[in-house]
Copies of this chain bind each other. A is one copy, B any other.
Amino acid sequence: MTNGKKEQNTQEFPDLLRENGLKVTSQRLRVLEEITHKNAAISQPDLEKIVGKDIDRVTLYRILSSFEEKGIVHKIFDLNGTATYAMCTSNCTENHHHDQHIHFICSVCNSVFCLDEVSLPKITLPPHFALHSLAINAVGLCANCQKED
């Protein structure tokens, strides 16, 4: 189980931004750090709490949507419909995401984990439905919350 991060250390963030035609700013680096910091996807509200002292709320919105647009991060909605963000693993390009992995959402702590190593099932749809991608959310108890039962 990973956070989907590309085994990339902090050093690589400026390159990541440049590759995507984005200027390297302290705010963007900070957001990248926070997103990769946790073992799970991070919600917009949580991000806001963490960086809110340093980064304007509006700027955060704009940074996150530009990251998503460029394929740097992907956006998952948790059980409450709250947007959460995780790094894209690979192959994600502008307006074309390949976040084809299962997400695990803990029903207790609401954490979102990207399960890159679990393979996607084959789904057969009824006639006249053309499948482009699958978004699978497995809901249950994460390791941490099981302990506390």
Hey, what's the 0/1 contact readout for A120-136 against B, CB within 8 Å counting as 1? 01111110111111111
Chain B residues, Cβ within 8 Å of A117: 126
Which 6 A/B pairs are nearest by Cβ-Cβ distance?
A121-B121, A128-B143, A132-B140, A135-B137, A130-B141, A131-B140
The answer to the question of A115 belonging to the interface, with a C-beta cut-off of 8 Å to chain B, is: yes
Tell me the number of copies of this protein: 2
Interface residues on chain A, size class: 20 to 34
The answer to the question of A63 belonging to the interface, with a C-beta cut-off of 8 Å to chain B, is: no
The answer to the question of A77 belonging to the interface, with a C-beta cut-off of 8 Å to chain B, is: yes
Which residues on A are within 8 Å of B, measured CB to CB?
1, 77, 81, 83, 102, 104, 107, 113, 115, 117-118, 121-126, 128-143, 146
Give A80 to B143 CA distance when docked, in angstroms: 29
- Evaluate contact between B132 and A135: CB separation under 8 angstroms: no
Chain B residues, Cβ within 8 Å of A143: 128-129
Give A121 to B105 CA distance when docked, in angstroms: 18
Chain B residues, Cβ within 8 Å of A123: 102, 118, 121, 136, 138
Give min CB distance, A106 to chain B, whole Å.
9
Give A139 to B142 CA distance when docked, in angstroms: 26
- Evaluate contact between B139 and A134: CB separation under 8 angstroms: yes
- Evaluate contact between B146 and A128: CB separation under 8 angstroms: yes
Q: Which residue of B lies closest to A149 (CB)?
A: B130
Give A130 to B77 CA distance when docked, in angstroms: 20
Give min CB distance, A135 to chain B, whole Å.
4
